[in-house]
Structure 1
Amino acid sequence: MTEKVKEVAGKGKGLAGEFREFIMRGNVLDMAVGVIIGGAFQKIISSLVDDIIMPVISLLTGGIDFNNMFVSLDGSEYATLEAAKEAGAATLNYGTFITVVINFILMALVIFFIVKFMNKLSNKLEKEKAEAPATTKICPRCKSEINIEATRCPHCTSELD
């Protein structure tokens, strides 16, 4: 290899080396995994909101279809938003905005409850770990970790209390 190629391929040298160093950082990989999982999770939440929660809200509001709430800016009356779009009319689609806001609030609420559940589960697991009896202790002389029942340190051979 020429000196130029060696310099570019070397870790921390040249653009390629800097990029390799950047991409191999743990936090970049964690972020990439988070984005991928977040995309898949977003589809699950969207399905929950669109297929389960919104039909219930539609029942509670008497079957109101927010998507067909609009104002035609050309002054004409249209039965549906689709009919107005087919006619080429400019529309102010406030119903679609209301639907998106409701979806956002519901998604945020679902995510809140999932995070709350995960935090509760995590706290429970931490409590269980904290309550587990100690199985090791530290030697006061050499500071090595040893069995809690040991009477003599296997590292420095000092007698223990």
Structure 2
Amino acid sequence: MSSQNNQSNWDRARASWMASSERAKGAWTGFKEFIFRESVLEVAVGLIISQAFTRIVNSLVSDMISPFIALLPFFDRNLPQKFLVLRPGPLGRDAYNTIQQAEEDGAITMAYGRFIDTCLNFFAVGLVLYGLARFYAFVTKDSIIKHSTKCQYCRKEISEKALKCGFCCSWLDGREDHETSALAPPAPTQ
């Protein structure tokens, strides 16, 4: 009886192992199909390129633009280090040389220099991307920048090339001005 019991335990363990390995193979196959789809690879490449592009623009702002801003009379030092102390920390120090000292003391600060630096980064990225889009349009004769207009009926922004509004479903070429239904009486002929 004991050998038969051992055999049935082995059979159940083998069946469980086989079912688990089939589930793992199915999961692996699904994962491979998901990862190697064309759109996922395009997104991955786009994210990697955008990360490198962000580093370049950050360097442009911090190494090329910020030094000129620091020449202005009210920016007498490194722009990201400019801050105001709104309330001193519990140690009650009167002055802080850096924002890190103020934060370590628990002071409440307004880091307006970091904010200005971040805004400069944003505008630099926007300008560079706009320039790249214009260059792409010049080289390929295909515009990335899509011009829009407002629908004359619902006033929503739609593509300049649209024939029908995607919001209110109105035709933009004048079809709404006369009845085109099969139930409508025929238009008078002249």
TM-score bucket of the superposed structures, by smaller chain: 0.5 to 0.7
Q: Which residue of 2 aligns with 1:109?
A: 123
**Structure 1 residues 120 and 83, CA gap change in structure 2 (3 angstroms):** closer
Mark the CA change 1:60 to 1:6 in structure 2 (over 3 Å): closer, same or farther: same
Q: Name structure 1 gaps, 5 residues minimum.
A: 129-161
> What amino acid sits opposite 1:90 in the alignment?
G
- Contact 2:82–2:113 at 8 Å: present in 1 too? no
* Structure 2 residue runs without a partner (length 5+): 1-16, 143-190
Alignment RMSD:
2.8
Distance apart, 1:50 and its partner CA: 0.9
Greater per-residue helix proportion: 1
Residue type of the alignment partner of 1:94: M
Q: Secondary structure at the match of 1:93?
A: strand
TM-score, normalised to structure 2, is 0.53
Flag the structure with larger Rg. Answer: 2
Moved more, 111-120 or 17-26: 111-120
Identity among equivalent positions (%) equals 26
What one-letter code is carried by the residue in structure 2 that aligns with 1:78? Answer: A
1:82 Cα deviation (Å)? 6.3
1:110-129 paired onto structure 2 within 5 Å:
110-127=124-141
> Is residue 89 of structure 1 aligned with residue 101 of structure 2?
no
In structure 2, what is the equivalent of residue 22 of structure 1? Answer: 34
Given candidates 69, 89, 94, the residue that maps to 1:73 is 89
Once residues 101 and 121 of structure 2 are traced to their aligned partners in structure 1, the CA distance between those partners, rounded to angstroms, is 30
Instruction: Find the aligned partners of 1:85 and 1:127 in 2 and give their Cα distance.
Output: 54
Letter in 2 for 1:26: E
